[in-house]
């Protein structure tokens, strides 16, 4: 079969050379096959059905984007593995929430600590649910958690910056989280207008594919669309999604690559559960050599009959002792087979599903029975890199833009008096975000390692505290206060003892 296919692949020149000199024709064909460097690029029998489309990102994604999102949401609701993966990201990327550390700079380049404290206090007050959320339901930390979840399941989320003239804090700025379903994907305009913009899947972009505006549906809470979609300028929208290709405009669910595997595990687990139920059933048949029932017209069956089969039925009870009629024999039904490889199959599938999302099996399953300290720490370090990447994305694409807008609105509202704020905006808006800390596997070993690294100038106190989700200034101030308190307490105690001794 393969030889016939090779003959069909010969062109006119190949056939002519093979006719004149079969040896030269064979060598030409052999060198051609050897020049194919990639096995995955071959078109032989094994790869004949593998013919993917090589097209721009939106051409590939737009036909299945909604279906992928719907299936990912179904797994979020009904699949343990999917929820475990999403929960791992929520716990480790957000945790108790990102905490801002303001670092405004003076004209001489030093940090203005007094102004920094005021900025942090203002942002802390704004982060309450009544001040930051249009719906008044989510505080800023809960918004971060929802963004991480929706970014994994849906592929992205929208945070629309809105005005709040009734704010009790005085800062007329709030956020409205909206699902990506509200982007009008039916809105297209491939004809370039005078500005050079075009609309692709509900997002208006310029000639460099930079979002200029978003066309959002006017929908009710129950999903009913009212009227035409509205154009919202891109400078008022934070479209939080991660691009995988330069030509990509819209989001794609992060669970797309592992959704099939997770669903297979769900179906397999259900099949195993049903099989185990069948194996747990005990069925007994009574064989009769004589006709059932008595003799004569007055005969009435004493046992109940199954309405579907017409056979008499009896029940079994623990410790039951009964007598059989002459000629009766008992035969039990034992279903064969057992699900002996269920654990191995589910474990391997869960391991692959977790690795497809950049996590270890232990992080997604919470199963630590197969690791020791070294392997657990290595897996945790690799997982930490995944979480840190997601934390950096969340800081840059959501937290920092929101912080800058809040401080700017606070200056405009007179909550902060900074005369040259707009002339030196970058200096005043300089800040940092403290992510939640990571737990230690063996605290003694970690502490000793940090101690040596700090003494040899390989790290700093700020970096160590940041890894634990703490502000080094607060830690240092608290430790100084504790040490001062203990010294004063010891001093008072010593003076009291000296006085008692003299007496």
Is residue 232 in a domain?
yes
pLDDT for 309: 56
DSSP summary character for residue 358? T
Specify if 354 maps to a domain: no
Same domain for 86 and 141, yes or no, is: yes
Per-residue pLDDT at 211 = 93
pTM: 0.77
Say yes or no: 114 and 193 in one domain. Answer: yes
The answer to whether position 2 is within a domain reads yes
Q: Are residues 8 and 78 in the same domain?
A: no
CA distance 180 to 494: 68
Q: Do 126 and 84 belong together in one domain?
A: yes
Mean pLDDT lowest among 216-220, 275-279, 330-334, 399-403: 330-334
Residues with Cβ within 8 Å of residue 401, at least 6 apart in sequence: 238
Burial class for 458, CB neighbours closer than 10 Å (0-12, 13-18, 19+): exposed
Q: Are 176 and 193 in contact (CB under 8 A)?
A: no
Same domain? For 20 and 164 the reply is: no
In a domain, 462, yes or no: no
Domain that holds residue 183: 59-258
Q: Is the pLDDT of residue 180 over 60?
A: yes
Whether residue 213 is found in the same domain as residue 252: yes
Range of lowest pLDDT (188-202, 274-288, 449-463) = 274-288
Same domain for 135 and 99?
A: yes
Q: Token match 């006709």: residue?
A: 291
Residue 162 resides in a domain: yes
The whole-number average pLDDT for the span 136-159 is: 95
Query: Which of 204, 233, 258 represents a domain boundary (last residue)?
Result: 258
| Pair 125, 232 in one domain | yes
Judge if 250 and 117 occupy the same domain.
yes
Among residues 258, 291, 319, which one ends one of the domains? 258
Please give the residue that has the higher pLDDT: either 123 or 480.
123
Domain count, the chain: 2
Question: pLDDT tens, 35-92?
Answer: 666 777 777 778 878 888 888 888 888 889 999 999 999 999 999 999 999 999 999 9
Dihedral angle of Cα 355, 357, 360, 364, to the nearest 10 degrees: -120
129 & 22 share domain: no
Same domain, 72 and 174: yes
Q: Which of 3-12, 410-419, 431-440 has the lowest mean pLDDT?
A: 3-12
The pLDDT-based confidence of 411 (bands split at 50, 70, 90) is very high
List pLDDT tens digits, range 362-398.
Answer: 888 888 878 877 787 788 888 889 999 999 999 999 9
73 and 26 within one domain:
no
Q: Is residue 311 part of a domain?
A: no
Query: How many other CB atoms are found less than 10 A from the CB of residue 358?
Result: 17
How many angstroms separate the CA atoms of 461 and 458, rounded? 10
Is 114 inside a domain boundary?
yes
Q: Of 258, 273, 306, which marks where a domain is finished?
A: 258
**Highest-scoring range by mean pLDDT, 97-106, 141-150, 193-202, 260-269:** 141-150
Q: Does residue 218 fall inside a structural domain?
A: yes
């Amino acid at each position: 079969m393969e030889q016939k296919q090779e003959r069909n692949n010969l062109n006119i020149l190949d056939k002519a050379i093979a006719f004149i000199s079969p040896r030269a024709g064979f060598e030409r064909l052999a060198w051609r096959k050897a020049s194919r460097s990639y096995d995955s690029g071959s078109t032989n029998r094994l790869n004949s059905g593998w013919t993917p489309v090589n097209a721009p990102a939106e051409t590939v994604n737009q036909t299945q984007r909604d279906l992928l999102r719907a299936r990912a949401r179904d797994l979020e609701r009904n699949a343990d593995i999917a929820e475990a993966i999403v929960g791992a990201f929520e716990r480790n990327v957000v945790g108790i929430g990102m905490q801002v550390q303001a670092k405004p700079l003076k004209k001489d380049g030093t940090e203005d600590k007094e102004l920094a404290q005021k900025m942090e206090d203002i942002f802390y007050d704004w982060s309450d649910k009544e001040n930051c959320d249009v719906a008044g339901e989510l505080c800023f930390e809960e918004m971060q958690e929802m963004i991480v979840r929706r970014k994994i399941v849906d592929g992205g989320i929208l945070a629309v910056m809105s005005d709040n003239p009734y704010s009790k804090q005085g800062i007329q700025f709030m956020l409205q989280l909206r699902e990506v379903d509200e982007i009008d994907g039916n809105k297209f305009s491939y004809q370039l207008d005078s500005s050079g913009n075009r609309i692709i899947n509900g997002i208006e972009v310029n000639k460099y594919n930079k979002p200029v505006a978003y066309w959002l549906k006017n929908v009710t809470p129950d999903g009913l669309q009212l009227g035409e979609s509205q154009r919202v300028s891109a400078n008022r929208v934070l479209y939080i999604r991660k691009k995988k290709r330069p030509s990509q405009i819209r989001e794609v669910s992060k669970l797309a690559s592992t959704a099939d595997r997770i669903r297979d595990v769900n179906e397999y687990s259900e099949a195993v559960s049903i099989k185990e139920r069948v194996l747990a059933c005990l069925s007994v048949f009574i064989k009769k050599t004589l006709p059932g029932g008595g003799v004569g017209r007055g005969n009435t069956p004493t046992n109940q009959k199954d309405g579907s089969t017409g056979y008499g039925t009896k029940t079994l009870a623990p410790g039951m002792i009964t007598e059989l009629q002459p000629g009766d024999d008992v035969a039990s039904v034992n279903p064969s087979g057992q699900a002996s490889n269920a654990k191995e199959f589910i474990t391997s599938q869960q391991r692959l599903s977790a690795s497809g999302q950049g996590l270890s099996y232990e992080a997604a399953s919470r199963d630590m029975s197969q690791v020791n300290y070294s392997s657990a720490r290595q897996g945790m370090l690799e997982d930490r890199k995944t979480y840190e990447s997601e934390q950096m994305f969340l800081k840059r694409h959501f937290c920092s833009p929101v912080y800058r807008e809040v401080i700017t609105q606070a200056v405009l509202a007179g909550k902060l008096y900074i005369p040259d704020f707009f002339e030196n905006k970058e200096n005043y808006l300089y800040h940092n975000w403290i992510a939640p800390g990571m737990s230690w596997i063996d605290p003694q070993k970690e502490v000793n390692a940090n101690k040596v690294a700090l003494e040899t100038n390989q790290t700093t106190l700020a970096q160590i505290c940041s890894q634990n989700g703490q502000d080094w200034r607060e830690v240092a101030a608290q430790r100084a206060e504790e040490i001062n308190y203990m010294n004063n307490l010891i001093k008072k105690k010593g003076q009291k003892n000296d006085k008692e001794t003299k007496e």
